[in-house]
Chain A
Amino acid sequence: MSEAVASPTPLLEFRGINTHYGAVHILKDVDLAIYPGELVCLLGGNASGKSTTLKTLLGMVTPTTGEVVLDGEVVNDKPTSYRVERGVTMVPENRRLFKRLTVKENLELGAYLRNDDGVESDLERIYEMFPRVKERLNQKSGTLSGGEQQMVAVGRALMANPRVLLMDEPSMGLAPALVQTNFELIQQIHEEGVAIFMVEQNANMALSIADRGWVLQTGRVVLDDSAEALLANPELRASYLGDGNR
């Protein structure tokens, strides 16, 4: 399963991260490392700090202590745009397209920081990947179906030419039939060499395609193991994987 070669320097790393919203302690001494080309997932129940983890990775939340490291550089005080420029992109929860903008404009905004001439050919690549998107380029993105919106959201993130794609609950709000397709899509992107960091409630599905995973509980990493080991973990099976009384 883990065909990704773990290179010595992580692409993105948390070193002893603590975050607070006011007096509330959200993340507690979290250490994470995402290596180039990996597919990893972060599991956890509600209010376990998953979203905060993503926001901290992107610089939308500043940690109180600890270091966020991108390519070996501490980026705690760098803005989101700095990280986006260096290949960190997110597909947000519920897709969050710009509904009043056209599909094409949404895709172009994904490449907002890029000035290279690869933008046009990347657009073509997205059209090839999602022929349905190409048919609807000049439509307002709010008029698309849920599945089509998911394609645009993924396409928009890919337009930034990411090295690591953060995905916040990618199967949330999708019709059950689409969830499987969505995971296949994630795998396809991963095979093209993009590292993927996925936050997911659907632990079974996520672990079946991931290399490694973490389990977050009330802001603390309680399990950190390979996907196979996590799938076999009886504790995790009981609480997340739908065994027992769930």
Chain B
Amino acid sequence: MTTAMRSKARPRTGVDWFLTFLRVLLTGLVLFGLLAFLWQQIDPDNPLASAINPDANRLSWDAFQGLVISGLSQGAMYGLIALGYSMVYGVLGFINFAHGEVFMVGAMTGMITSNKLFEAGVWEDNFLLAILIAVLVSVICSTVTAVVTERIAYRPLRGSPRLIPLITSIGVSFFIQNTSAVLLGPGAKSYPRLPDWLRDDIGIGPFDIEGKKLLVLVVAGVSMGALWYLVERTKTGKAMRAVAEDKEIASLMGIDVDRTIVTTFAVGGAMAGVAGILWGILFGSVTEFTGFLPGIKAFSAAVVGGIGNLGGAMAGGLTLGSSESLAPQLVLEPLGVTGHTQLKDAVAFLVLIFVLLVKPTGLFGERLSAEDRA
């Protein structure tokens, strides 16, 4: 729609042709890769495969299923973080780059709590209780971090051009990273070993899902459900959506705009805290830089889904997580790309570029009106 409207308004320039070329090229590569993959599944010794990917092998059902599940569980985590980016963007119109660090604070405090619980023996005796306590502590710490950040760093900048809080958020991000390094020492810190039943596969119908990934999916699903309920069905949520749309009129309704903004940061922080614990469960260790890459990817997920749209943030997270996990095997390997397993991160950002090329507003985004554009 966008391209059609634009081309009506002015003649196509070289840039437009270049963008069209990129769109066609990327779509073509993805389709070609997928077709090559399918052919390889049918006959690993087909002439195309022998030409570009001599080591071609069939991907087993088990391996495929494993990729889907890890993609979804990691995507759910991205989705949880992406919610925070999206909500703050919706309400204040800037990207809070320190949100990745709020997530890291969740992972760090989760690490400390779970290690203490491990020493006390609770972790092994009653894992569910332990993880519940750890989630609570993480959520509280992340929420406090997000709210304090808003109070100290962003509120004094309310009303200034939105580039200014954005740059500030990068500063806040460095500050939190370094605070963590000073307080806890630099380097990786491990979570205690997960109980055996979480490391085994759990069969659900035709699927075998590794216990911890199932746990991640369940916790993420419950958190997203709670958030959806809060935003769509409660008075607070209605106030949040009203403030996101028009602060002046929201205050005319008697809504306390400042308090609503704090609530938004708090809820986003809580989601990041949950994601932090899930990171610990999935990967078992955390450093002070843990927030950076997942933060950037979650931001990409928010953009892929359509920034400002909560359903979009979740969908964007799942899309990004699944592509990241599936594309190396399904598209890159059949194309004969070497070192495809190392290219997860590149895939994530290629997905972002692809979505922006094809649908600049994101999967579920609305067109921004001129006044909303930064």
Is B238 an interface position by the 8 A CB rule?
yes
Is A132 an interface position by the 8 A CB rule?
no
What number of residue pairs across chains A and B have CB atoms under 8 A from each other? 58
Docked-complex contact A110 and B253, CB < 8 angstroms: yes
Across the interface, which residues of A come within 8 angstroms of B253, CB to CB? 84, 109-110, 112-113, 156, 160
- A4 CB to closest chain B CB (Å) equals 25
| Contact mask for chain B residues 87-117; partner A; CB cutoff 8 A; 1 contact, 0 none | 0000000000000000000000000000000
Across the interface, which residues of A come within 8 angstroms of B250, CB to CB? 98, 109
Is B241 an interface position by the 8 A CB rule?
yes
- C-alpha spacing A105/B251, complex, angstroms: 16
Choose from B242, B248, B256, B366 the contact partner of A109 (Cβ within 8 Å).
B242
**Contact A92-B249, Cβ < 8 Å, known A81-B255, A81-B256, A160-B254:** yes
Docked-complex contact A80 and B251, CB < 8 angstroms: yes
Choose from B246, B254, B366 the contact partner of A112 (Cβ within 8 Å).
B254
- C-alpha spacing A100/B246, complex, angstroms: 10
- C-alpha spacing A61/B86, complex, angstroms: 30
Across the interface, which residues of B come within 8 angstroms of A112, CB to CB? 235, 239, 253-255
Docked-complex contact B254 and A80, CB < 8 angstroms: yes
**Contact A98-B241, Cβ < 8 Å, known A60-B248, A112-B235:** yes
Is A85 an interface position by the 8 A CB rule?
yes
Docked-complex contact A101 and B238, CB < 8 angstroms: yes
Docked-complex contact B256 and A101, CB < 8 angstroms: no
Chain A CB within 10 Å — which of B239, B241, B242, B254 has the most?
B254
Sort chain A's interface into a size bin. 20 to 34
Give B148-182 interface residues, CB cut-off 8 Å to A.
none
Across the interface, which residues of A come within 8 angstroms of B5, CB to CB? none
**Contact A81-B251, Cβ < 8 Å, known A98-B242, A101-B238, A101-B242:** yes
Docked-complex contact A108 and B238, CB < 8 angstroms: yes
Is B252 an interface position by the 8 A CB rule?
yes
Across the interface, which residues of B come within 8 angstroms of A81, CB to CB? 251, 254-256
Across the interface, which residues of A come within 8 angstroms of B43, CB to CB? none
Across the interface, which residues of A come within 8 angstroms of B239, CB to CB? 109, 112
Sort chain B's interface into a size bin. 10 to 19
Is B55 an interface position by the 8 A CB rule?
no
Is A96 an interface position by the 8 A CB rule?
yes
Is A125 an interface position by the 8 A CB rule?
no
Docked-complex contact B238 and A105, CB < 8 angstroms: yes
- C-alpha spacing A160/B251, complex, angstroms: 13
- B364 CB to closest chain A CB (Å) equals 13
Is A58 an interface position by the 8 A CB rule?
yes
- C-alpha spacing A92/B249, complex, angstroms: 8
Is B119 an interface position by the 8 A CB rule?
no
**Contact A100-B245, Cβ < 8 Å, known A81-B251, A81-B255, A112-B253:** yes
Is A90 an interface position by the 8 A CB rule?
yes
- C-alpha spacing A84/B241, complex, angstroms: 20
Across the interface, which residues of B come within 8 angstroms of A84, CB to CB? 252-254
Is A99 an interface position by the 8 A CB rule?
yes
Docked-complex contact B252 and A92, CB < 8 angstroms: yes
Choose from A85, A98, A105, A108 the contact partner of B249 (Cβ within 8 Å).
A98
| Contact mask for chain A residues 101-122; partner B; CB cutoff 8 A; 1 contact, 0 none | 1000100111011000000000
Across the interface, which residues of B come within 8 angstroms of A80, CB to CB? 251-252, 254
B90 nearest in chain A by CB position = A100
Nearest 5 A/B pairs, CB to CB: A84-B254, A113-B254, A81-B254, A112-B253, A96-B249
23 A-B pairs with CB atoms under 8 Å apart are: A58-B252, A79-B256, A80-B251, A81-B255, A81-B256, A92-B249, A96-B248, A98-B241, A98-B242, A100-B245, A100-B366, A101-B241, A101-B242, A105-B241, A109-B238, A109-B239, A109-B242, A109-B250, A109-B253, A110-B253, A112-B253, A112-B255, A156-B253
Interface residues, chain B, with chain A CB atoms under 8 Å away: 235, 238-239, 241-242, 245-246, 248-256, 366
Interface residues, chain A, with chain B CB atoms under 8 Å away: 58, 60, 79-81, 84-85, 89-90, 92, 96, 98-101, 105, 108-110, 112-113, 156, 160
Given contacts A100-B366, A109-B255, A112-B235, 16 further A-B contacts (CB under 8 A): A60-B252, A80-B251, A80-B252, A80-B254, A81-B255, A90-B252, A92-B252, A96-B249, A98-B241, A98-B242, A98-B245, A98-B250, A99-B245, A105-B241, A109-B238, A160-B254
